[in-house]
Amino acid sequence: MEVEALREYLSRGAILVVQITPFKEDESLDIEGLRLNTEFLVEKKSLGPMVLVPTGSTGEFYALNDEERKKVISTVVDVAGGKIPVIAGTMRAGAKWTVELSKYAEDIGVDGVMVVLPYYHVPGEDGLLEYFKKIANSINIGLLIYNNPDVSKIYVNPRLMKRLVAEIPNLVGVKENTPYIATFYEQVKAVDGRIPVIQGRGEWWYISTVLLGATGYVSGYANFMPELSFEILKAGISKNFSKLGEFLERISILEEFISDMNIKYGPSTSILPPPYIQGYMVYAVIKAAMDIIGLRGGRVRLPLLDLKREDRKHLERILFEDLFLEKRG
């Protein structure tokens, strides 16, 4: 998909499904499982505008070696077969290796790349601008900025976002992860419709910010409950706030379970204050949910932890009795 077409596709409202990376019990890559999971999503393409996003944070990209990352991206591109756009996570802490992986992704047929803010060393605004410009100038496909302070310690504020939009012609959107609703609105005003501001924190946050201009959202839950995720998107696009309120109550049961798991498996060690990240058990929950409904979630890799048997039983009740999901097959 050409850059302008991809930007327009995202601007109309879409769900970007950040795919999990399934691992076997010995922590080896489960490519067969990845193909099965991707086929499941491709089968659901009639639900609405969808983008597949392999090797993002939900895909535990940091826990993959370079060969594994390339294998995951190429597998998703192969299964998608041009039926659904693919935006691959190609982020590394430095520009040189991010450029290399982004070029690889372009060569094998992705429609765009997603790049999180550089982590570890903290750059100044000019360094951050040059970082994204170097990556964007190295490819002829779209660039999606992943504006996530939770994992990077830095943030592209609205002033800098204006500069990025003005100076990077193949910028197709921003995955906006600020936990501050007022700041989210400032980003929407800053880009002034030139690129979509996509809610990066999932269903609950999309419902809470769609009135402020959230253009679609990024979802990990859509890996296992795409029908419900797309019902939420449709209600948001049509501004059906009564329906959105119902969905908010419905998914709050799952959100509360994840919060409980974050506490049970150890409070967050993040130095960031609330309302930033409080824990990462969400990825173990998503993988367990996929196993429960008949997909291939598998285990997580350390330092993340898997759910214990009793918690998986609790999750199973939530999926089938509260969210009314059905077992696949």
User: Which residues 6+ apart lie within 8 Å of 49 measured at CB?
Assistant: 9, 12, 13, 14, 15, 216
In order of 22, 132, 207, 295, 321, the CA distances from 324 in angstroms are 24, 42, 20, 17, 5
- Coil, helix or strand at residue 85: coil
- The active-site residue out of 103, 131, 133, 146 is 146
In order of 40, 291, 294, the CA distances from 329 in angstroms are 11, 13, 7
Q: Is 133 a catalytic residue?
A: no
CA dihedral 202, 91, 54, 29 (to 10 degrees): -120
Q: What are phi and psi of 144, to 5 degrees?
A: -110, 120
- The active-site residue out of 45, 62, 70, 175 is 175
Q: Is 24 a catalytic residue?
A: no
Sign of torsion over alpha carbons 46, 47, 48, 54: negative
Q: Which residues form the catalytic set?
A: 146, 175
